[in-house]
Amino acid sequence: MPAFGKVVVCGVGLIGGSFALALKAAGAVAEVVGLGRSRAPLEEALALGVIDRIAADWADAARGADLILLAMPVGQMPPVMAALAPHLQPGTIVTDGGSTKSDVVAAARAAFGAQSQSKVDQFVPGHPIAGAEKSGVTAATAGLYRDKRVVLTPLAENGAAAVARLAAAWEACGAKVSQLAAADHDCVFAAVSHLPHLLAFALVHDLAGRDNADQLFGFAAGGFRDFTRIASSHPEMWRDICVANRAALIKELDAYMAELLKTRVLLASADGAGLETMFATARARRDLWLDSLQPPSGE
């Protein structure tokens, strides 16, 4: 018998679709039910076998569900949680795949804590550190989470059994599960994920607006391609992440601009030794990090 009976995926894109496919590949789920804000991706997910059924509404979806994954852009969490909350049954675990956690936790408290009897203990926040600049259900694969990290940021209200059961679901997908406090999560990912995305978007946007943009892109090569890969990420998803985590992100952006100003001083004074020290320090730290990746992790 599969570990999970009915699993609901709200938002059948890369994250939700891959979760469904991975659980199915592991034989860990009996039925995957999908729902979302628009019909076409759901039909596509059904045709691809990513989900087994499209739910009529939240009442239908939530009935008898073991696990519900909310896999929409984080800006959609408040209305979706509000729609789900009245139908959420005892024993169902709800989680999410959002890249920011403090805002998602606040939305969950508002939606699930506002019920006549609080259901917030049923919501275990999560963030699978896997993704790609590709989006949509056609990009979903059963192997997306293999050897990737999933960070859970449990609430004080969550029971140990619910956290363990959710961790087991992600482990069935091949992921490595760890835990952080939500605020720490948001600071860490502002630095190593949200800021780099913002920087890549900004560079391409800057160059795209130039009079000689065609010439510039005409000579851009492999280094530029990799540096800007994440600038092909989903604009709405990243809009929501940046708005939700803007306090931590602005802090990181300011630190980075201070670093750039220091670098500008080195350039303006033609301080080759200073530049070389900075570059060598960066290279050594990055190479140390690469060595520690066993196996390479994705995003």
Applying CB under 8 A, the span of 13-21, 78-86, 116-124, 248-256 interacting with its own copies comes to 248-256
Q: Which of residues 72-91 bind its own copies (CB under 8 A)?
A: 75
Applying CB under 8 A, the span of 8-16, 49-57, 106-114, 189-197 interacting with its own copies comes to 189-197
Q: Which of residues 29-48 bind its own copies (CB under 8 A)?
A: none
Compute the least distance from the CB of residue 264 to its own copies, in Å.
Answer: 6
189 is a contact residue toward its own copies (CB under 8 A) = yes
Pick between residue 57 and residue 287 the one whose CB is nearest to its own copies: 287
Compute the least distance from the CB of residue 261 to its own copies, in Å.
Answer: 8
Pick between residue 60 and residue 171 the one whose CB is nearest to its own copies: 171
235 is a contact residue toward its own copies (CB under 8 A) = yes
* Tokens read off for 246: 């803007």
Q: Which of residues 259-278 bind its own copies (CB under 8 A)?
A: 259-261, 263-264, 267-268, 270, 272, 275-276, 278
Compute the least distance from the CB of residue 63 to its own copies, in Å.
Answer: 34
Compute the least distance from the CB of residue 147 to its own copies, in Å.
Answer: 11
Pick between residue 183 and residue 202 the one whose CB is nearest to its own copies: 202
250 is a contact residue toward its own copies (CB under 8 A) = yes
208 is a contact residue toward its own copies (CB under 8 A) = yes
Give the CA distances from residue 61 to residues 85, 220, 273, in Å, rounded to whole numbers and listed in that order: 12, 48, 62
Sequence-distant (6+) residues with CB within 8 A of 152 are 124, 125, 126, 127, 163, 166, 167, 177, 178, 179, 180
**Distance (Å, whole) CA 213 – CA 204:** 10
Q: Which of residues 91-150 bind its own copies (CB under 8 A)?
A: 129-132, 148-149
163 is a contact residue toward its own copies (CB under 8 A) = no
CB-facing half-sphere around the CA of 236: CA atoms within 13 A: 8
181 is a contact residue toward its own copies (CB under 8 A) = no
* Tokens read off for 228: 């800007």
Strand-pair partners of 33: 8, 53
**Distance (Å, whole) CA 112 – CA 32:** 23
Which residue, among 53, 65, 70, has the nearest Cα to 15 in the 3D structure? 70
Pick between residue 66 and residue 299 the one whose CB is nearest to its own copies: 299
Pick between residue 59 and residue 260 the one whose CB is nearest to its own copies: 260
Pick between residue 90 and residue 223 the one whose CB is nearest to its own copies: 223
Pick between residue 113 and residue 256 the one whose CB is nearest to its own copies: 256
Pick the binder of its own copies from 151, 162, 172, 173 (CB under 8 A).
Answer: 151
Compute the least distance from the CB of residue 9 to its own copies, in Å.
Answer: 22
Q: Which residue in the block uniquely carries the two structure tokens 């990799």? A: 226
Compute the least distance from the CB of residue 76 to its own copies, in Å.
Answer: 12
Could you give the dihedral angle defined by the CA atoms of residues 43, 48, 52 and 55, in that order, rounded to the nearest 10 degrees? -20
Element of type H or E holding 239: helix 235-244
Which residue, among 143, 235, 252, has the nearest Cα to 193 in the 3D structure? 252
For residues 149 and 120, is the Cβ–Cβ distance under 8 A?
Answer: no
Give the CA distances from residue 285 to residues 22, 94, 181, in Å, rounded to whole numbers and listed in that order: 34, 38, 26
